[in-house]
Amino acid sequence: MNEHVVLRPPVSLVRPKRVAAIPEETGIRGGAWYEPKLDGYRAVAWCLPGGVRLHSRAGLDLTAMVPEVAGALERLPVGAVLDGELCAVVGGRMEFGALARRRSRDRSRWPAVSYAVFDVLAVPGRDLRALPLRKRQEELRTLLEGSEPPVQLLFGTAEKAVAEVWFREMGAVGSEGIVAKPLGSVYEPRRAGWVKVRHSETADAKLVGVVGGTARPEAVVVDLPDGRRAVTSPRLGSADARVVGGHVAGDVGSEARMLGEVLWHPVGRDLLIEVREESGRHGAVRFVRVREDEEGAPG
């Protein structure tokens, strides 16, 4: 084993918990650090002896989708491990759905991408996860010095007032909200204390079935985080129906089931999607998108 590589896949990533409002600086132990919440694929970059690999939070290999990012990271030393967000940029705006076009062999359809790095888990010979965030940031700035697009250091601020401006204004370029992190936090999922505030609250749900044709479903059946099972409404648009159909192709069972008055067919695979409840506990559950970066990940 290369002595410089102290951390190898897989690794548990810190996930921010949702809160209703941006926390005060004084309410975060050790000081606060605020960053825009980007709308892309969470990705870990592994600088290994055989080359750079980029993996999603669920462990999917994304390297072939973003060869220019992997190429730009080759300048980093073997043993470095980064945490960041892969974002598609279309017309100056981040578009989550456009990232799926990177799976096409037709590169003329590929949108531009950027890898915004916000943390470093390891450098050659050292696992940094036990260090406080402010120390990891110092290591990260040194590591990325001289980096150019498509790799960039994600900007942040220690001032809540600045973060509030970003929250109000950056939605126009595709930002989902703000992530707040304690500067004294270690990189450990249960202890980090990262929180996020989104412009509109959505939830991750497990897709368990489809309604209508399997190639272009009319709706999907989901298991929600609170244990309820629901059918999405209104009818899926044509683009969303094609995306869902492509993901479930070959995995839809012939058995028909009923949920209320709706006939549906179960899907024999784990697929994570994002939904929004339109109003209250018994309101409509609206399909938002397939979380293509997190297939099979727990909600």
How far apart (Å, rounded) are the C-alpha atoms in residues 166 and 24?
A: 15
Q: Which CATH number fits domain 203-290: 3.10.310, 1.10.3470, 2.40.50, 2.40.160?
A: 2.40.50
pLDDT (average), residues 219-238: 91
Domain map (residue ranges) of the chain: 17-198, 203-290
pLDDT (average), residues 61-68: 96
pLDDT (average), residues 195-205: 85
How far apart (Å, rounded) are the C-alpha atoms in residues 23 and 42?
A: 23
Mean pLDDT of the chain: 91
3-state secondary structure of 244: helix
Q: For residue 104, is pLDDT > 90?
A: no
Res. 96 pLDDT band, cuts 50 70 90: confident
Per-residue model confidence (pLDDT) at position 278? 65
CA distances from 272 to 32, 58, 283 (A): 31, 11, 21
CA angle 231, 224, 253 (to 5 degrees): 55
Per-residue model confidence (pLDDT) at position 261? 86
Q: Are 43 and 52 in contact (CB under 8 A)?
A: no
Q: Are 203 and 225 in contact (CB under 8 A)?
A: yes
Q: Which CATH number fits domain 17-198: 3.40.50.10540, 3.20.20.70, 3.30.470.30, 3.40.50.720?
A: 3.30.470.30
pLDDT (average), residues 50-65: 94
